Amino acid sequence: MNKVGNIKKNKIFEKDDICAPVCLFTYKRIDSLKKVVDNLKKCSLSEKTRLYIFSDGARDESDLAEVEATRSFIHSIDGFKDIIIIERDNNIGLAENIMGGVTNVINKHKKVIVLEDDIVPNKFFLEYMNEALIRYADQQKVMEICGCSLPTDKDKAFLPQTFLLPWGGCWGWATWFDRWQYFERNPQKFVSQMTDEDIYKLDRNGTDLIWQQVLDNASGKKKTWAVFWELAIYLHNGLVLYPNVDMCKNIGFDGTGENCPIDIRFPKKKLKDQQITEFANEIKENKEAMELVMKYSKKINRPLSFWQKSYYILFIENKKTVFRNVVKKLFDIEL
């Protein structure tokens, strides 16, 4: 069984260019982007980190002002070793922006850390990511470092500080050049090649709906990228390192995210500045963590109850309408 050797932590970050570059992808959400950048600047190692910012172009005239405001802000950012800004001339969409940006940066630097404009890191995010990238660089089976922990804090206190799972995550992650070479966005190919057994395993042993994302991409209903990275990990028997505490947090479930609509099923967790000091030594999946993931996936993929649907419709989808109606009745004014 493969094991990871010890490294001298107090020495690893003394070398120049030891820190992986960060790719930050943004569109028009300036408020959430500011939170991401503010927290990233507070990270230890931020001053040793190259920051690549990929700004997508406006879809239409209605988005132009927000995109321009976002670009004005990113040109004011400081606090990093170097800042490289790539402004797309046209709107290419999140998937193309990420696939192209990650490929370009990883071809140059051989490793990369990836954030989007709704993924807020904690103070030790860069330290965790960089140390893991160094520790597992020669462990080909480890294909990704994930920044988010399991989706629920319940029942996971017994797990070690870090553990390995056969499933990927796209909310704050990192990888290496040689692993990213397996990435291929080819939905038609996978639809024709994947067996029922493959689909069952990809769907976290029948508890998730990952394969449906492939079908949606094949039909043209969606254009996403993360499910194809998940496929690459599965098809190459890869593993992904997870922390037992969140090193970053997705704040995009407010309806502003491209692929993260408002969703009451995801728990709201407070991001804490907790440091990772222990890393998984044996290169094998953690069975207990796998069971927790499958249990949670099965739970959130059940149909919403009548009361959950009612809450969603009344207080989330139509919260602005409800507010307007209340104000109209109370003050007899039009909004």
pLDDT in tens, 25-38: 999 999 999 999 99
Record the tokens describing residue 79, joined without a space. Answer: 């606090």
The answer to whether residue 160 is domain-embedded is yes
Residues 99 and 164 in one domain: yes
Residues 205, 312: one domain? no
Residues 56-80: what's their mean pLDDT? Answer: 98
If asked whether residues 297 and 321 sit together in one domain, one would say: no
For residue 258, is pLDDT > 90? no
Please tell me the distance from the alpha carbon of residue 263 to that of residue 164, in angstroms, as a whole number.
Answer: 27
Confidence of residue 298 (pLDDT cuts 50, 70, 90): confident
Looking at the structure, tell me whether residues 227 and 257 fall in a common domain: yes
pLDDT at 245: 94
Residue 321 structural domain: 303-335
- Secondary structure class of 273 (helix, strand, coil): coil
Are both 334 and 286 inside the same structural domain?
Answer: no
Q: Is the same domain home to 59 and 122?
A: yes
On whether residue 185 sits in a domain, the answer given is yes
The verdict on 280 and 329 lying in the same domain is: no
Q: In the chain, what percentage of residues exceed pLDDT 90? A: 74
**What amino acid is encoded at 88 in this protein?**
R
Whole-number pLDDT of residue 13: 66
107 and 78 both lie in a single domain: yes
pLDDT digits over 127-144, tens only? 999 999 999 999 999 999
Task: With CA atoms as reference, report the closest residue to 273 among 128, 172, 157.
Answer: 128
Q: 299 or 68: which carries more pLDDT confidence?
A: 68
Is position 1 within any domain? Answer: no
pLDDT at 316: 47
| 33 in a structural domain | yes
**Residue 2 within a domain:** no
Q: What is the pLDDT of residue 205?
A: 93
Give the mean pLDDT of 46-74.
Answer: 98
Determine the pLDDT at residue 308: 47
73-87, 111-125, 150-164, 258-272: range with lowest mean pLDDT? 258-272
Q: What pLDDT shows up at residue 153?
A: 56
Domain count, the chain: 2
Selected residue with higher pLDDT from 331 and 192:
192
Tell me: do 323 and 203 sit in the same domain.
no
Whether 155 shows a pLDDT value over 80: the answer reads no
**Mean per-residue pLDDT over the chain, rounded:** 87
Q: Is residue 333 over pLDDT 50?
A: no
Rounded to whole angstroms, how far apart are CA atoms 70 and 26? 8
Q: In the predicted model, what is the mean pLDDT of residues 206-231?
A: 97
Q: pLDDT tens digit string along 96-127?
A: 999 999 999 999 999 999 999 999 999 999 99
Rounded Cα–Cα distance for residues 106 and 94 (Å): 18
22 inside domain: yes
Q: Is the pLDDT of residue 263 over 60?
A: no
Same domain, 166 and 97: yes
If asked whether residues 208 and 285 sit together in one domain, one would say yes
Task: Looking at the structure, tell me whether residues 294 and 310 fall in a common domain.
Answer: no
Q: Is residue 4 part of a domain?
A: no
Kindly state the average pLDDT of the residues 205-223: 96
Q: What is the pLDDT of residue 296?
A: 85
Residue 3 located in a structural domain:
no
Q: Residue 265 belongs to a domain with what CATH number?
A: 3.90.550.10
Spatial contact of 135 and 279, defined as CB atoms under 8 Å apart: yes
Long-range own/partner contacts, residues 3-8 (CB < 8 A, 24 or more apart): 3/281, 3/282, 3/283, 4/135, 4/136, 4/139, 4/279, 4/280, 4/281, 4/283, 7/131, 7/134, 7/135
